[in-house]
Amino acid sequence: MDLLNALVAFANFVFIPAVAYGAQLALGALGVTLIYGILRFSNFAHGDTMAFGTTLTILITVAMQGAGIGFGPLPTALLALPFAIVLTGIVLVGTDRAVYRFYRKQRAAPVILTMVSLGVMFIMNGVVRFIIGVDDVTFADGERFVIGARDFRDATGLAEGLAIRTTQVITLVVAAIAVALLFWFLNRTRTGKSMRAFSDNEDLALLSGINPERVVQVTWLIVAALATTAGVLYGLDKSFKAFTYFQLLLPIFASAVVGGLGNPLGAIAGGFVIAFSEVGVTYAWKKVATYVLPESLAPDGLAQLLSTDYKFAVSFAILILVLLFMPTGLFKGKSV
């Protein structure tokens, strides 16, 4: 029995990575859920919107680094983020004007809008690769670790190391701030309330004098902020590659559906549920079990439920289970 080592191993390989990943998914899922709630379609272009926002952030970061602007121990990308959000917002509102508004005017069925977003996705995907290429881009600078694994071992004398990366802490802090701002905006401001009214009942909202075009524009701006932030945090924490954001679409949608589409609280919960399931199901529990269990019960095998190759299968399985048995999700969203 060695609870302390078990806890540290668990924190190092499961808890900390899953919390950071969950926060990134939650921010992504919030964007998807807002679009679903207010514009009433599943936005497949969301993953590539994240990639696009991150691309802009990287370009601005590089320019800032070139001009000698830094952020001390924090990544310069955080300084570049607001500018990138504004630019992404302009692009999204522009896309809405050029593409989505046409179909909205015709009161097209949601599935048509979803297909339209698929087209937007392919174009954005191409634009991103055209601008920044398909290779790995590392743009994190500043301090890499809050606690390094070796330092932790030396300081505590434990067998297991614990590493906390700066980017993981930043992810949590920034995500918390973004979520707090979003909820304040939706619940306390006039525009936020009109957005919620529009989401609840479009016709009633129109009758009470809410300007639909303005609601749509504000939604896209908020989505731009959420998507860019999520993309930059993911890129800082892991690495940026144009294609990986497209693959993130599945866990992000799974998060939004699990929490209940259209429900912001649900999106956050869903993000963490998916992240912890993905990491927990594919983690080999041998080490933790060996520390916790008496020697006679310690597992010989890896005690791994699924090989890591099947990480995405976990999201898929959860998505299907929820759709079958709980179509409105954990937090009573709209049924799909």
Partner 1 sequence: MKKLLLASTATAMLAGAAGAEEVKLGIIFGFTGPLESITPHMAAGAELAMQEVSESGLFLDGSTVTPIRADSTCVDASAATAAAERLVTSDGVKAIIGADCSGVTGAILQNVARPQGIVQISPSSTSPGLSEVEDDGLFFRTAPSDARQGAVMADIISGRGTTDVAITYTNNDYGKGLADSFAAAFKEKGGNVTISAAHDDGKADYSAEVAALAAAGGELLVVAGYVDQGGRGIVQNAIDTGAFDTFYLPDGMYGPSLIEAIGDSLDGSYGDVPAAEGENVDTYHEMATAAGFDGTSSYAAESYDAAALVLLAMQAAKSSNGADYKGKIMDVANAPGEKINPGELAKALELIAAGQDVDYVGATNVEMAEPGESLGTFREYDITGGAVETVGFR
Q: Which residues bind partner 1 (CB under 8 A)?
A: 12-14, 17, 21, 135-136, 138, 144-145, 148-150, 152-153, 161-163, 165, 234-235, 238-241, 243-244, 247, 278-279, 282-288, 302-304, 307-309, 311
State the minimum distance, in angstroms, from the CB of residue 330 to partner 1.
24
Nearest CA to 41 out of 261, 205, 225, 193 is that of 261
**Which residue number, 246 or 331, has a Cβ lying nearer to partner 1?**
246
Q: Where are the alpha helices (DSSP H) in 142-248?
A: 149-156, 166-188, 190-200, 202-207, 212-237, 242-247
Residue 157 or 209: the one with the smaller Cβ distance to partner 1 is: 157
Residue for token digits 């990287």? 58
Q: CB of 114: closest distance to partner 1 in angstroms?
A: 26
Which CB sits closer to partner 1, 203 or 300?
300
3-state secondary structure of 54: helix
Reading the block at residue 289, the tokens are 């079990």
Complex with partner 1: residue 187 or 307, whichever CB lies closer: 307
Q: How far is the CB of 286 from partner 1 (least distance, A)?
A: 5
- When the beta carbons of 218 and 288 are compared against partner 1, the nearer one is 288
Instruction: Give yes or no for a contact between 298 and 225, defined as CB atoms under 8 angstroms apart.
Output: no
Least Å distance, CB 311 to partner 1, is: 6
Residue 275: CB partners within 8 Å, gap ≥ 6? 18, 19, 21, 22, 25, 251
Q: How far is the CB of 62 from partner 1 (least distance, A)?
A: 17
Query: Could you tell me the smallest distance in angstroms from the CB atom of residue 50 to partner 1?
Result: 12
- Rounded to whole angstroms, what are the CA distances from 48 to 13, 54, 119, 160, 181? 28, 9, 11, 38, 24
Helices (H), the chain: 3-10, 16-38, 46-66, 77-95, 101-105, 110-132, 149-156, 166-188, 190-200, 202-207, 212-237, 242-247, 249-259, 264-282, 286-292, 311-325
CA atoms within 13 A on the CB side of 271: 27
Quick one: 195 or 252, whose CB is closer to partner 1? 252
Place of tokens 């830094």: 70
Q: Which is nearer to partner 1, 203 or 295 (CB)?
A: 295
- CB of residue 47 vs partner 1: minimum separation in angstroms? 12
